[in-house]
Structure 1
Amino acid sequence: MKRTVFGHWNPVSRMRGRRLVSKLLLGGLGSLVVGGLVTLGVEGVPQVRAAETPVLRAAVLKIGTVNWELSTIQRRGFDRENGFSLEVKPYADNGATRVALEGGEADVAVADWIWVARQRAAGKDYVFLPYSRAVGGLVVPKESTAKSLEDLKGQKIGIAGGPVDKSWLILQAYAREKHGFDLAGETEQVFGAPPLIFKTALQGETAGAINFWHFLAKMKAAGMRELISVETASSALGLNPDIPLLGYVMKESYLNDNPKMAKALYGASRAAKALLASDDAVWDEIRPMMNAKSDAQFDTLKTDFRAGMPAPGNVDEDEAATFFALMARLGGAKLVGDAKELPAGLFVKVE
């Protein structure tokens, strides 16, 4: 008679045992198996091991340019290489992405650090991880004779982003402090959504336009000329134009629970940037999401995206404080809220 180490061999018991294992695998443990890995232990009894790869949920604007980088991260496996799995959650507008972050529906969103500083000063535990230094500028029609901002006196300027748009504020400061010219007082401003400013500028309804960088890229591809960049104006004002304005925003409480995630995301981001900066072929993969209507638009978008890639390393907090002080002086509470100075702990240390 056959025996096992546990006693007499019983074919009925053996069959029941097999059925039990099947039920555990396919039924009773279903909710656990979905999120983990199943291994067989002693006598074939299943053991469930929790998944080792954490998921990072990113709330992004559905048509946002950050998707170019995030798609590259996913396609090339840079998230897995850095120990996490990226899940992209698209939303219709930036406000919805921020609600998702605040409400715990997402772990990370994208915003500029001036906004993050405002939220932090208001008591929220948001922190900033650098992503892009892409900024705008002011463009004029190709037939325009304007050579400086002063040449726009008495004319209309289309501005995306509203009266406290950061590009608009910097250009005002530049015109006043370097040329003694009141840009806001001596011109007529037309504020509107980026697509509207794009359209009216191309139709010649404004003498100049300030828009988000990717719309400006398309405007330049259509023949418009950059009169002055925000980068040039910032440098003239003694600001560091290399400070990355846009970044990934997370909660400190989330990073306390996931202490490796900030550097993991940063590592994946830098890997994607390195590939996008050096390999033209990879752009063919993301071209469908770029909404480029022509090869000229595609090439300009690619060039300007690359130009907006910040150098690796931590944000210089002293230079950021100088920049923030200017924004607070020019934009006031409408821009920075209750923040009087750069909040401590705003920038995540990546090195």
Structure 2
Amino acid sequence: MRFPWIGRIAGVVAAVLVQAGAGLAQQAPLPVVTIGTLENGTVNWELRTIQDRGFDRENGFELRMQPFAGNPATQVAMQGGQVDAIVSDWIWVAIQRANGAPFTFWPYSTAVGGLVVPADSPARSLEDLEAERIGIAGGPVDKSWLILRAWHRQQTGRDLADVTQQVFGAPPMIQNAAETGQVAGAINFWHFMAKMQAAGMREVVSVSDAAKGLGLDPGTPLLGYVLRDDWVAANPDLARGLARASRQAKDLLASDDAAWQALRPMMGADTDAEFAALRDGWRTGIPPEGPVDAGDAQSLFSLLADLGGDDLTGGLTELPQGLFWQGE
């Protein structure tokens, strides 16, 4: 006796099993890329956009952010293999690489600050601030301070370190000192500068313009994603996927004002003016696509080393080979 319904049931069961298998394959977990970040760092704006817009999943990975309290903590986490990447400047990466750590760098931002004064200040140039007190975030080897020193020395033959009084401190302290008149001018990190200008302070000179005056390429990014050579070699698709996702987020945030509304709660903007200044400042720092030009970076490094010395460079004179990942 034949039972044709058995064949039909078997066919249905087979189809269900095939669909179930396909569904399980689609739900297979993606590899995770963990990036160590500062709790309030501006890179979080890009990374959150990557997550919210699904640019990570589109490029074959799941992005996770691991917050840390400060830059030293992120660097320790990177050195200890607790994270796959962090954001730092390539001078730190160069020192680590020269000392045997197989770190490499991919551009994140060209954003730099400048020197600002109160709106009613008579100062129109760095010369006008000679013999005055200048507040500087980041310490004596802050890159913005060194570039402005080099540019002023080229223009006048005088070193700002010799002809001004410097007050070094954390960015919020320098902001407060400038706003309360404790210093005549201030050099701060770009996002603090954006807030200071939104509150009415005036820029005397930007680090970007000073770099141009020194014959440097202001498009050379100082900040970037730090990766390990062995991680890139073992996970080339993940590394390229991270680079693509980063560019997708940058392209979106560069052109779509509405995309910023989701980020506003994490930007620390107290006013619409601050929000707009932070957004526009971040956009200005979007680097060109592709790796850093090693020759341009060496020119900048040599200039910074001249004034910053071993405290900045760790004794390096030449940037190590392989410092800048080529994205391949």
Residue 99 (str. 1) matches residue 48 (str. 2): no
Compare relative contact order (CA 8 Å, sep 6+) and give the higher one, 1 or 2: 2
Q: What is the SS of the residue equivalent to 1:184?
A: helix
Once the two structures are overlaid, the 10-residue window that deviates more, 262-271 or 284-293, is 262-271
Equivalent residue pairs, number: 309
Tell me what 1:165 maps to: 142
Once the two structures are overlaid, the 10-residue window that deviates more, 217-226 or 113-122, is 113-122
- Distance in 1 (CA, whole Å) between partners of 2:231 and 2:90 is 18
In 2 relative to 1, CA 144–340 (structure 1 residues): closer, same or farther, beyond 3 Å? same
Q: What is the SS of the residue equivalent to 1:123?
A: coil
Q: How does 1:176-195 map to 2 (within 5 A)?
A: 176-195=153-172
- Do the aligned partners of 1:121 and 1:338 also contact (CA within 8 Å) in 2? no
In 2 relative to 1, CA 51–338 (structure 1 residues): closer, same or farther, beyond 3 Å? farther
How high is the sequence identity, in percent, across the aligned residues? 57
Deviation at 1:280, TM superposition (A): 0.6
Deviation at 1:198, TM superposition (A): 0.8
Tell me what 1:4 maps to: none
Tell me what 2:34 maps to: 57
Tell me what 1:13 maps to: none
Tell me what 2:291 maps to: 314
1:271 alignment partner AA = Q
Once the two structures are overlaid, the 10-residue window that deviates more, 332-341 or 205-214, is 332-341
- Do the aligned partners of 1:160 and 1:192 also contact (CA within 8 Å) in 2? yes
Deviation at 1:49, TM superposition (A): 11
Tell me what 1:211 maps to: 188
Tell me what 1:350 maps to: 327
Once the two structures are overlaid, the 10-residue window that deviates more, 130-139 or 336-345, is 336-345
CA RMSD of aligned residues (A): 1.8
- Distance in 1 (CA, whole Å) between partners of 2:176 and 2:273 is 17
* 1:57-86 Cα distance to aligned partner (Å, 9 max, x none): 000000000000000000000011111110
Structure 1 segments (4+ residues) deviating >3 Å: 47-52
- Distance in 1 (CA, whole Å) between partners of 2:160 and 2:217 is 22
2:88 alignment partner AA = A
Tell me what 2:50 maps to: 73
Q: TM-score, normalised by structure 2?
A: 0.91
Residue 137 (str. 1) matches residue 119 (str. 2): no
* 1:201-248 Cα distance to aligned partner (Å, 9 max, x none): 111111000000000000000100010000000000010000111100
Q: What is the SS of the residue equivalent to 1:228?
A: strand
- Distance in 2 (CA, whole Å) between partners of 1:159 and 1:94 is 18
- Return 5+ residue gaps in structure 1 as ranges: 1-38
Residue 254 (str. 1) matches residue 231 (str. 2): yes
Q: How does 1:1-351 map to 2 (within 5 A)?
A: 51=28, 53-350=30-327
- Do the aligned partners of 1:69 and 1:269 also contact (CA within 8 Å) in 2? yes
- Distance in 2 (CA, whole Å) between partners of 1:244 and 1:265 is 18
Deviation at 1:263, TM superposition (A): 1.6
* 1:169-218 Cα distance to aligned partner (Å, 9 max, x none): 00000000122222110100000000100111111111000000000000
1:158 alignment partner AA = G
Deviation at 1:105, TM superposition (A): 1.1
Once the two structures are overlaid, the 10-residue window that deviates more, 150-159 or 178-187, is 178-187
- Do the aligned partners of 1:263 and 1:350 also contact (CA within 8 Å) in 2? yes
Once the two structures are overlaid, the 10-residue window that deviates more, 224-233 or 91-100, is 91-100
| Bigger CA radius of gyration | 1
- Return 5+ residue gaps in structure 2 as ranges: 1-15
Deviation at 1:40, TM superposition (A): 6.5
Q: What is the SS of the residue equivalent to 2:262?
A: helix
2:192 alignment partner AA = F
- Distance in 2 (CA, whole Å) between partners of 1:256 and 1:313 is 18
- Distance in 1 (CA, whole Å) between partners of 2:271 and 2:27 is 48
Q: TM-score, normalised by structure 1?
A: 0.85
- Distance in 2 (CA, whole Å) between partners of 1:324 and 1:342 is 8
1:87 alignment partner AA = R
1:142 alignment partner AA = A
- Do the aligned partners of 1:150 and 1:181 also contact (CA within 8 Å) in 2? no
Deviation at 1:314, TM superposition (A): 2.1
In 2 relative to 1, CA 51–100 (structure 1 residues): closer, same or farther, beyond 3 Å? farther
2:139 alignment partner AA = G
- Distance in 1 (CA, whole Å) between partners of 2:67 and 2:283 is 23
* 1:119-159 Cα distance to aligned partner (Å, 9 max, x none): 11111111001000001111011111111101111110000
- Do the aligned partners of 2:216 and 2:299 also contact (CA within 8 Å) in 1? yes
2:174 alignment partner AA = I
1:69 alignment partner AA = E
2:30 alignment partner AA = T
2:248 alignment partner AA = A
- Do the aligned partners of 2:309 and 2:315 also contact (CA within 8 Å) in 1? no
- Distance in 1 (CA, whole Å) between partners of 2:54 and 2:27 is 21
Q: What is the SS of the residue equivalent to 2:186?
A: strand
Deviation at 1:262, TM superposition (A): 2.2
